[in-house]
Amino acid sequence: MKGTSSRAPLGHLIENNRRWAQGAVQADPAFFQRLVEQQAPKYLWIGCADSRVPANDIVGLLPGELFVHRNVANLVVHSDLNCLSVLQYAIDVLHVEHVIVCGHYGCGGIAAAARAAPLGLIDNWLRHIQDVAERHRETLAGEAHECGRADRLCELNVLEQAHNVCRTTIAQDAWRRGQSLAVHAWIYRLTDGLVQDLGFSARGTQGHAAELAAAIGRLRNRGEAG
C-alpha cells in the first residue's frame, strides 16, 4: 500500500515518514541499501525513555552506528531481562566496545522518585532510584537547594547504573575472556544539548568500585566548592 490517507489515524506521522525517506534518498541514494547491510555498532547506549533525549542525534551517529536501550531513568536492574538481553546481545554478538549509560538533568523519573508520591506500578521501578538516594543521603544533603539535589541525584543515579553494568555476569565474562569493553557514565543537559562525562570509565573485572567511589568523591567536592 503506497498511499495513506491523511484522515487515517496518525496519518500525519505516516506522511512525515514518507517525506523523511524521500529526503534521505535524495541526500544519499545508497542510504537504505547501506543501512540494510550495516549493523556493526561500536557503542551501546543505555539511556532514558524521555522523548527529549534522541541518542543518535546527541552524539552525531547514523542509524546502525549506535545500539540503543532506553527505559525510565536509564536504570540497569539485575532482574530486568529486557535490559540484560540487550546488554548480552550487544556485547556477545555485536561485540560493542563501549557501553554508555547516559542520564539527563531534569529527568521526570528522578523527580518522581524524589517526590515519592504514589503513581502506581511504576513506583516499583522508581524504588531503585530511591535506593540510590538513600545510599547517598549525605551527599544529597550537602546541596542547599532542591534543584541542586535533583541534579546531583541524576548524576549519582547514572554512576550507580554504570557500576551495575560492570557487575553483570555479561560484562564480567567479557572481560575475563579478554574482550575489549569499556563502561562509561555520561549526563546530558536539555538546556544546551551538551553531554558531560562524569569521570567513570571501567575497563576490567577489577577497579570499577574504586572508579565509582572516585567519581562520587569528585561530585561531592564540586558541590562543596560550589
> 52 an active-site residue?
yes
**HEC sequence for 109-120:** HHHHHHHCCCCC
> 107 an active-site residue?
yes
- List Cα–Cα distances, 95 to 59, 76, 84, 189, 202, in angstroms: 20, 19, 15, 29, 16
In angstroms, the CA 72 to CA 47 distance is 8
**Three-state secondary-structure class, residue 168:** coil
33-67: string of b/e by CB count within 10 Å (b at 16+)? eeeeeeeebebbbbbbebeebebeebbebeeeebb
Q: Which one of the listed residues 34, 52, 78, 176 is annotated catalytic? A: 52
Q: Which one of the listed residues 69, 83, 102, 107 is annotated catalytic? A: 107
The candidate with the shortest Cα–Cα distance to 185, out of 212, 203, 162, 168, is 162
> 57 an active-site residue?
no
Q: Which one of the listed residues 48, 83, 102, 166 is annotated catalytic? A: 48
Q: Which one of the listed residues 104, 128, 136, 208 is annotated catalytic? A: 104
Known catalytic residues are 48, 50, 52, 104, 107
